[in-house]
C-alpha cells in the first residue's frame, strides 16, 4: 500500500489550495488503501462511538449516518492515518513542517438519501485556531458531480463566521448573531450568488479543503451508497482553543489548554517534513 501520494502534490495544486481553499486531487491512494478504509467503515458501523449520529428524518428516504474519532477505537482507521499518504497531502498543501490529527469523521449516505449536508465551515466548530487546517475528504465509492461534496471557492478568505446547523434541523448551541456568527447561505442562494464547485470522483481521488471553506453535500440519489471519510489535519500554526460553546467532538481528556500548540499524544503527529526539504 502506498505510503507517499501516488501522484505528486504539485506547486500548482498548492497554489490552488491557497487561493480557492478547495481542490480535487486525482489518484492519490491505491486500491488497497480504499478497500482497507471500506473495511474500517464497516467495522465502525457495527461499533458506533459516542459521536455516532443518525441524521435520517422520519418520512424521508434513504439513510444518513455519521460518526467521529473512529481512530480512537477502530485500529484500521489508525492504520490508514499513520500508513497512508493522507497526512503528507495535507502537509504539502498547507506548506507545513508538521501535520497532526484533529479527528477523523465518516459520512455514509445510503442510496436514495434525500437529506443533504447543509453548507457550513468546520473550523469555528472545532477546538482549533490558525490558518493551517486542511480537511481531506476521501470517497470510497464512485461519486458523480451532483452527489459529491460541494464548496464555494475563496470562501475561506471571507473573514466571516457562520452558525453551525444540525444536519436534521436546528442549530448547535451558543452561536448567536451578537458574537459575529451569521446564518449560512442555503444552497439555492449559494448557487445563485456564488460559484459552487464539485467534481465527478473515483475511489483513490480526494478533495482537500481549508477549515474555513464553506462546503456541504447533496443527498444521494445514486443506486449505490455514498461512503466518505474526512481527515481533519492541522499544521504548524494550529493552537488549541476552548470555545465555550457546543462543539463536536468535545476532545475530552486531550490534555491541552487554550493557546497550546496542537501537538501532543492526543492530537498525534502524523507527518514531519523531511529535513532535506526544510
Ligand atoms: O460528506 C458529507 O456529506 C459531509 C462532509 C463534511 O462536511 C466534512 O467532511 O466536513
Residue 137 beta carbon below 6 angstroms from any ligand 1 atom: yes
The answer to the question of residue 5 being in a domain is no
Position in ligand 1 atom list of the atom nearest CA 137: 9
pLDDT digits (tens, 9 = 90+) for 166-186: 998 889 888 887 788 999 988
Which among 118, 120, 149, 123 is positioned nearest to 134, based on CA atoms? 123
pLDDT of residue 42 exceeding 80, the answer is yes
pLDDT > 90? residue 132: yes
Confidence of residue 194 (pLDDT cuts 50, 70, 90): confident
Residue 4 forms part of a structural domain? no
Domain assignment of residue 193, yes or no: yes
Please state the domain count of the chain: 1
Q: Which residue's alpha carbon is nearest to atom 9 within ligand 1?
A: 230
Would you say 216 and 23 are in contact if contact means Cβ atoms under 8 Å apart? no
Cell 495544486 sits on residue: 13
Share of the chain above pLDDT 90, in %: 83
Q: What is the CATH number of the domain that holds 46?
A: 2.60.120.620
Note whether residue 268 is domain-resident.
no
Among the listed residues 220, 244, 216, the one whose alpha carbon sits nearest the alpha carbon of residue 230: 216
Residue 90 lies in a domain: yes
C-beta 206 within 6 A of ligand 1:
no
What is the distance between the alpha carbons of residues 252 and 51, in angstroms, rounded to a whole number? 12
* Residue 257: inside a domain: no
Contacts of 257 (CB under 8 A, 6+ apart): 240, 242
| Average pLDDT over all residues of the chain | 95
What number is the average pLDDT over the span 242-271?
94
Residue 219 clears pLDDT 90, i.e. is over it: yes
The whole domain housing 49 covers 11-251
Residue 92 domain-assigned?
A: yes
* 89 part of a folded domain: yes
Environment class of residue 257 by beta-carbon count within 10 Å: exposed (0-12), middle (13-18) or buried (19+)? exposed
pLDDT one-digit tens code per residue, 73-116: 999 999 999 999 999 999 999 999 999 999 999 999 999 999 99
Between the CA of 138 and the centroid of ligand 1 the distance, in Å, is 10
Three cell numbers written together for 40: 474500517
Q: Is the pLDDT of residue 20 over 90?
A: yes
Amino acid at each position: 500500500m502506498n505510503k507517499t501520494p501516488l501522484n505528486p502534490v504539485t506547486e500548482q495544486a498548492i497554489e490552488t489550495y491557497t487561493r480557492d481553499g478547495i481542490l480535487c486531487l486525482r489518484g492519490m491512494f491505491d486500491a488497497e488503501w480504499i478497500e482497507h478504509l471500506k473495511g474500517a467503515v464497516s467495522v465502525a458501523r457495527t461499533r458506533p462511538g459516542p459521536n455516532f449520529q443518525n441524521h435520517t428524518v422520519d418520512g424521508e428516504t434513504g439513510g444518513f449516518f455519521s460518526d467521529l474519532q473512529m481512530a480512537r477505537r477502530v485500529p484500521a482507521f489508525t492504520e490508514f492515518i499513520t500508513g497512508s499518504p493522507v497526512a503528507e497531502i495535507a502537509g504539502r498543501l498547507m506548506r507545513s513542517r508538521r501535520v497532526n490529527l484533529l479527528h477523523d469523521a465518516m459520512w455514509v449516505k445510503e442510496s436514495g438519501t434525500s437529506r443533504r449536508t447543509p453548507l457550513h465551515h468546520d473550523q469555528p466548530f472545532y477546538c482549533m485556531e490558525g490558518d493551517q487546517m486542511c480537511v481531506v475528504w476521501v470517497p470510497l465509492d464512485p461519486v458523480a458531480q451532483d452527489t459529491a461534496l460541494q464548496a464555494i471557492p475563496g470562501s475561506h478568505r471571507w473573514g466571516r463566521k457562520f452558525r453551525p446547523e444540525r444536519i436534521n434541523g436546528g442549530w448547535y448551541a451558543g452561536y448567536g448573531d451578537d458574537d459575529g456568527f451569521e446564518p449560512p447561505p442555503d444552497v439555492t442562494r449559494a448557487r445563485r450568488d456564488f460559484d459552487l464547485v464539485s467534481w465527478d470522483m473515483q475511489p483513490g481521488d480526494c478533495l482537500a479543503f481549508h477549515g474555513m471553506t464553506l462546503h456541504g453535500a447533496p443527498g444521494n440519489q445514486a443506486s449505490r451508497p455514498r461512503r466518505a471519510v474526512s481527515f481533519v489535519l492541522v499544521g504548524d500554526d494550529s493552537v488549541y482553543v476552548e470555545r465555550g460553546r457546543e462543539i463536536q467532538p468535545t476532545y475530552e481528556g486531550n490534555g491541552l489548554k487554550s493557546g497550546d500548540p496542537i501537538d501532543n499524544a492526543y492530537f498525534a503527529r502524523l507527518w514531519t517534513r523531511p529535513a532535506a526539504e526544510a
